[in-house]
Amino acid sequence: APVSSTMQRGGRAPPAPQLDVRLLERPKAYAGAVEGWQTWKLKTESYMASVDGRYETAMREAEAEMKNIVRMPSEYVPLSRFLFASLISLVEGVPLELISSIGEHNGFEAWRRLCADQRRRLEKNQLQRVAGLLNPEFGSGVGFRAKWLAWERQLELQGAALGGALTDTIKIAVVRRK
């Protein structure tokens, strides 16, 4: 399936300011830890967008694509190959194995697969965190309040995953159960 919108139309992102990317620190190698994905992804997207402003939109579109990316406008082929070479040097372990078999050095397909794999892993990890929120260990005495406040903060952070499912009434019921 072709890449959507901007790449499909051959559109251009606004030109990026001319930067000497040697002044920027390249993202560190990523070995697949779920905890580090969001930070590494942000740094990699930012770095690539500083190389060429078209990466900002193209990488976002590749991530959103549900099917394999097999075609793209000819002006994106060099970008795709550079992205592939960059990713090969920025990942190791399972992520490297995941993208190393991609033909034609298709960097946008490599990015799509990395993002899809991490999204699945984050969702699985998120289910475990939500389960922990429903069965918290508060303890008693002085430590209770600190653990309760930490639980409240985690509920806030996981709000999107919970879809607002934990109303104040449910929170009270969980706390009283303990």
Question: pLDDT 10s digit of each residue in the chain, 178 long?
Answer: 445 555 555 555 555 456 677 888 899 999 999 888 989 999 999 999 999 999 999 999 999 999 999 999 999 999 999 999 999 999 999 999 999 999 889 999 999 999 999 988 877 777 777 777 888 888 877 788 888 888 887 787 676 666 666 777 877 887 777 6
**pTM assigned to the model:** 0.67
Quick one: which of 33, 47, 36 has its CA closest to 87? 47
Q: Produce one character per residue of 54-80: b if its CB has 16 or more CB atoms within 10 Å, e if not.
A: bbbbbbebbbebeeebeebeeebeebb
- Only one residue has tokens 């990942």, namely 91
